[in-house]
Structure 1
Amino acid sequence: MIERPITDWLPLTKQEVEKRGWDEVDIVLVSGDAYVDHPAFGTAVIGRIMESEGFRVAIIAQPNWKDDLRDFKKFGRPKYFFGVTAGCMDSMVNHYTANKRLRSNDSYTPGGEAGFRPDYATIVYTKILKELYPDVPVLLGGIEASLRRVTHYDYWQDQLMPSILVDSGADMLVYGMGEQPLREVLKLVRKNVPFSSMRNINQVAFMHDARTELRDYNNWNTVELASHEKCLEDKIAYAANFKIVEVESNKWQANRIIQTVGNQILVINPPFKTMDETEIDKSFDLPYTRLPHPKYKKRGPIPAYEMIKFSVNMHRGCFGGCSFCTISAHQGKFIASRSEQSVMREVEEITKHPEFKGYLSDLGGPSANMYKMKGKDESICARCQSPSCIHPVICSNLDTSHKPLTELYRKVDAHPKIKKAFVGSGVRYDLLVDDFNKNNEDGNHDEYMEQLVTRHVSGRLKVAPEHTADDTLRIMRKPSFKYFKQFKRKYDQIQDKHNLSQPLIPYFISSHPGCEEADMANLAAETKDMGFQLEQVQDFTPTPMTVAEVIYYSGVHPYTLKPVKTAKTREEKQAQNRYFFWYKPEYKDWIRNRLTRLQRPDLAEKLLGGPKKKENAPSEGKRKFTRSFSGKKKR
């Protein structure tokens, strides 16, 4: 750990507040994560923004919520408000596997220890604060609040839940990336405007008494969802709601959304337009120490920090719109890219770290290769309602040039203290296949691939075809598997040209809506034929605010309202996942018998060859060790 004055970090203790000479704190942030003062951690970003606006900020990180509430009291009553977040992950995704088994570790806690945050952390923290300080406003933020801002299905309780504002009792919620709405809130707070009067800020949600008039300060057009109570009665109404929410969350000229919940009205104001280069640079260029708080030194490293401490996030957002992914729901589908100067400043800061040996672990973002991509004519983007810019085809208005990214890679490469800069983020391979991406007018995709493969692959390259069945891929909003095959051929040609051996590591999902058991068997057969023995696999988890979650719960696609078959029982999900491991002797008889029952002996022969003597195969219900998406064993 670097020895620096404790005042370089935002205060975590009363003693640190006193060392700064403060007699009170303006804003207290409560987080389910340990405090890492780095731009990849939301609490640090929000805290540094507040500090930059002249507010005195303190942080309560991973407070004890069980039997001793003194953590919540240590700074006393803040002058303005509490800010609450569950952390960088939804607390339920953080705690549980796709099979609802409790995880044994937490990557956002020192030493990777589990048990330092509650289930539904945002709700738990807010209720405690409202009990202790009922007259102090609470502002919610972070991914858990963002994705639960409206009626949503909770996989872990297997039921619909209302907006998290209802269950928590918070005063307001900021959804998405919160810098822009937060700055507006801070302007009004400084003028002592109460939260109850902050009704005209973009990208916030709040509850309104249904018995009083809902004033429309900004003259937004309003679209009304089916009520929460209607959704409880009618799954189709819930599915139809989702389409409205997704479309309005990704429009530049969006409508305000309202939904009745009991005797209240949930109000969700339209989002801000995506941050421009100056705005996003301002966020990343704040004076972070880029280090965990010193108090954690004796408790061990924080795994999430260790993973990213020598990485650079160059952009936010993703225009893929994948059905199972929350990135576009939280960060938006439009790309906010940093300037080259801002990226290079961060690279320079990383080189000063005493543990830095010359290797950057990642130059990337939500998708590695969307940097600086945007609409050629932004007036077309302003009117667009499509949830994806590249499904089912790449929009002709999308500028998919890789030239700015290639040039930035080369500038980082040329830095005298950089030995290698790797790309650890997943590469969106369909943007690099000419047959799919017709926008490759100047051939710069090939130049990018040459640069990527020869200079920026750390032993292997991650890509995510997710499936091989076209019907399932359409529901996933992913391209046909044939494009992955084309990409692999192109990738292998570059490797052969330069005498390299850097395997592709493809990621796949089992039990996704629209996937049937025979589809998983075919996936195993196709990938076997390509020479893969898969270990990097994931069982589908229905997370709030995704198309796939809505299908899982309602049984219909929210855009067509037509039925979609989905594996739901543990036995169905386990059966699909098992095909990934066709090469394990203990599964071979099970697979052969299963495919015989499905009348698919052709797939059995592709996977296993001709009939063989029976081996002792596990029963369908017997638990076996498999490998999860992260490569770690799970039970």
Structure 2
Amino acid sequence: MNTKKLQLTDWLPTTNKEVKLRGWDELDVILFSGDAYVDHPSFGPAVIGRILESYGLRVAIVPQPNVNDNLQDFEKLGKPRLFFAATGGCMDPMVSNYTASKKRRDKDAYTPNGDIGFRPDYATTVYCNILKEKFPEVPILIGGIEASLRRVTHYDYWSDKLMPTILETSKADMLVYGMGEQPLREIVTLLQKGVPFSSLKNIKQTALLINPKEEKIPVVNDWEDVEISSHEVCLKDKKAYASNFKVVEQESNKLKARRIFQKVGNKMLMINPPFPTMTEAEIDGSFDLPYTRLPHPKYDKRGPIPAYEMIKFSINIHRGCFGGCSFCTISAHQGKFIASRSQESILREVDKVANMPDFKGYLSDIGGPSANMYKMKGKVQEICDKCVAPSCISPVICSNLDTSHKPLTELYQAVDKHPKVKKSFIGSGIRHDMLVPEFNKNADPKELDAYTEEVMTKHVSGRLKVAPEHTSDNVLKLMRKPSFTYFHKFKERFDRINIKNKLNLQLIPYFISSHPASELEDMANLAAETKNMGFQLEQVQGFTPTPMTVATVIYYSGYHPYTLKEVPTPRTKKEKEDQHKFFFWYKKENKDWIRNTLQKVGRNDLLQVLLPENNSWKKNKTTHKTAQHTFDDAIPFNKRKKVKRFSGKKK
């Protein structure tokens, strides 16, 4: 894995010089990406490039093309034989470029040295518009997180507008949503047989804009169709927009889904049903491709790429998440069904990482979207085939879901047997609720304890990250998260194992402010209850509305898409700032405001917990920091005031 032994031709070409080094006189596909080119299975553009290459195509990548000069980056490689491909990168460019308060970020994790200015806002649309202007006759295929989550009428937080499908704004010819391996295989197979790109209408997991006056809607006998409210209706009727989401979310996560139609002006958006979840052999095949696992040599003098440095020695073991959290886009992009790699494929990758020249014996993560969903699926497939629930574990864990942690425990143990691995860490967030027998009634409590103890004793470096997200049952229900009661129960188990093994570990809970249904008193209760548990929050997260989530639909429309009932939501800058202040009750500049606010609503019980007259908190706390969230872990009080949970009624 030494870069000195690798040749420039081991990476996909990015320049004419590199194309000629391979002896090619023509390219089949040219891929434009908002990320720097890192040839690694955790970076979507590299995966797509390698997949296309595995089908025998000559592929080049143009990473972060300059859109502010004479646009030579878009012309330097000429026209591809089959199509252009475009993606905004591994993150939605607007999330990459802006904070939750719409301030421009000062770092881009997917650019060398973290430099900003290399990824335009709405990158996929910008790239496609340039390509269409220069090469109007060449088809464009778009994909990745930006295209996937913007495939239908969606709310764009940064412009504060309802936007049509990205196919309309980008002028692209086809969109692949979700994980791209399966639709790409079918697209390439048909193109290689001589089928024109314009005839590719019935491929699963793709979306197209059709002009009914010029072409017929294709008929597929075994597909059922459903039409949702048009873009124009959504612009006028927020409730209609909200009701669309339920259909889109359910059809995106069904094994036998309907084809979705939506009118956009004089055109018709057609979203074909998704492919079945990738099999073990399919996902293994994707991860086993000949990646160099390194950034392209062109970046050697520009500095490290932060996102790569973070995952350089990590292993992704599965895709998908059945949590269905209302604020999260993972299930909308990767799906709710888990696609797990085989242990053999994972161990082959561990061996590659262990033999990298700068590997010191420590794997930074063995995980996925959620660390502990590996190999979990329905016990009876026929039940899953009929399911329309967006979450398999909310409001309760489905009785058909196999939640055994045994395969994961065995995987960790197999990884640790590698002679060059000193320690493997779990850096991904763990679903703590699934480790609580009172919540996870499907699993053997002994098995859950064995997994928890395995993680705490062998795979944690001082801190264990979990995400209760809130303390209010009302907010948590809307989030599709379990009651905070289960966090208390998990902490009891955590503390017991901590003491038993003399580990001195710290539990790091993540929380969100300003989420739909969260009111000021909910945040006050959150502050009081977490303080009472010994936490002092320093770095936390404000809710960011991103396309294709329940919470974003509520934020824009005011209605829950499943009930069409109104939901109170913090929207103004002041409302969001006020909610955030409760995270920092201990800061001097917030104390008078908190005291006045709680006195106005008659919550002296919470005031006495947060700002008692005789405050011994500072004497008892010890500080520790994490990269994303920082907390102070306090020695428990001898005298704790019992906090009355907020009932939703003001006193």
**Deviation of residue 501 (structure 1)?**
0.9
Two-structure CA RMSD over aligned residues (Å): 1.3
**Deviation of residue 475 (structure 1)?**
0.4
Matches within 5 A, 1:305-454: 305-441=308-444, 443-454=446-457
- The partner residue of 2:102 within 91, 100, 104 is 100
Matched, 1:591 2:594: yes
Matched, 1:253 2:256: yes
Matched, 1:223 2:221: no
Partner Cα separation in structure 1 for residue 218 and residue 320 of structure 2: 32
**Match for 2:48: what amino acid?**
I
SS in 1 for 2:496: helix
Partner Cα separation in structure 1 for residue 261 and residue 301 of structure 2: 48
Any unmatched runs of 5+ in structure 1?
613-626
- The partner residue of 1:91 within 90, 93, 109 is 93
Matches within 5 A, 1:122-201: 122-201=124-203
**Match for 1:415: what amino acid?**
H
Matches within 5 A, 1:22-37: 22-37=24-39
**Match for 1:2: what amino acid?**
T
Partner of 2:530: 527
Partner Cα separation in structure 2 for residue 548 and residue 194 of structure 1: 40
Change (3 A) 1:471 1:628: farther
4+ runs of 1 displaced by more than 3 Å? none
Matched, 1:544 2:556: no
Partner Cα separation in structure 2 for residue 261 and residue 254 of structure 1: 22
SS in 2 for 1:506: strand
Partner of 2:571: 568
**Deviation of residue 219 (structure 1)?**
3.3
Partner Cα separation in structure 2 for residue 593 and residue 296 of structure 1: 54
Partner Cα separation in structure 2 for residue 342 and residue 610 of structure 1: 59
SS in 2 for 1:587: helix
**Deviation of residue 74 (structure 1)?**
1.0
Kept in 1: contact 2:202–2:218 (CA 8 A)? no
Partner Cα separation in structure 2 for residue 91 and residue 215 of structure 1: 33
**Match for 1:159: what amino acid?**
K
Partner of 2:561: 558
Partner Cα separation in structure 2 for residue 182 and residue 628 of structure 1: 39
Partner Cα separation in structure 2 for residue 5 and residue 20 of structure 1: 11
Partner Cα separation in structure 2 for residue 607 and residue 587 of structure 1: 11
**Deviation of residue 93 (structure 1)?**
0.6
Partner of 2:244: 241
1:462-504 deviation line (CA, Å, top 9, x unaligned): 0000000000000000000010010011011111111001101
Partner Cα separation in structure 2 for residue 631 and residue 497 of structure 1: 27
Change (3 A) 1:413 1:629: closer
SS in 2 for 1:465: strand
**Deviation of residue 459 (structure 1)?**
1.4
**Match for 2:71: what amino acid?**
L
Kept in 2: contact 1:89–1:144 (CA 8 A)? yes
**Deviation of residue 443 (structure 1)?**
2.8
**Deviation of residue 445 (structure 1)?**
1.1
1:290-344 deviation line (CA, Å, top 9, x unaligned): 0000000111000000000000000000000000000000000000000000000
- The partner residue of 2:582 within 567, 579, 582 is 579
SS in 2 for 1:299: coil
Partner Cα separation in structure 2 for residue 348 and residue 463 of structure 1: 29
**Deviation of residue 240 (structure 1)?**
0.2
SS in 2 for 1:322: coil
- The partner residue of 1:51 within 45, 53, 56 is 53
**Deviation of residue 33 (structure 1)?**
0.1
Partner of 1:504: 507
Partner of 2:639: none
**Deviation of residue 551 (structure 1)?**
0.2
Normalising by structure 1, what TM-score? 0.96
Partner of 1:69: 71
Between the two proteins, the alignment pairs up a number of residues equal to 618
**Deviation of residue 213 (structure 1)?**
2.8
Partner Cα separation in structure 2 for residue 87 and residue 270 of structure 1: 24
**Deviation of residue 442 (structure 1)?**
6.6
**Match for 2:588: what amino acid?**
P
Partner Cα separation in structure 1 for residue 356 and residue 593 of structure 2: 52
Partner of 1:276: 279
**Match for 2:96: what amino acid?**
N
**Match for 1:140: what amino acid?**
I
Kept in 1: contact 2:437–2:445 (CA 8 A)? no
1:111-168 deviation line (CA, Å, top 9, x unaligned): 0001101100000000000001000000000000000000000001111000000000
Kept in 2: contact 1:226–1:238 (CA 8 A)? yes
Normalising by structure 2, what TM-score? 0.94
Partner of 1:210: 212
Kept in 1: contact 2:226–2:261 (CA 8 A)? yes
Partner of 1:615: none
Partner of 1:630: 628
167-176 or 63-72, larger mean C-alpha shift: 63-72
Any unmatched runs of 5+ in structure 2?
616-624, 631-651
Partner of 1:459: 462
Kept in 2: contact 1:199–1:217 (CA 8 A)? no
Kept in 1: contact 2:471–2:484 (CA 8 A)? yes
SS in 2 for 1:374: coil
**Match for 2:484: what amino acid?**
F
- The partner residue of 1:485 within 478, 484, 488 is 488
Partner of 1:109: 111
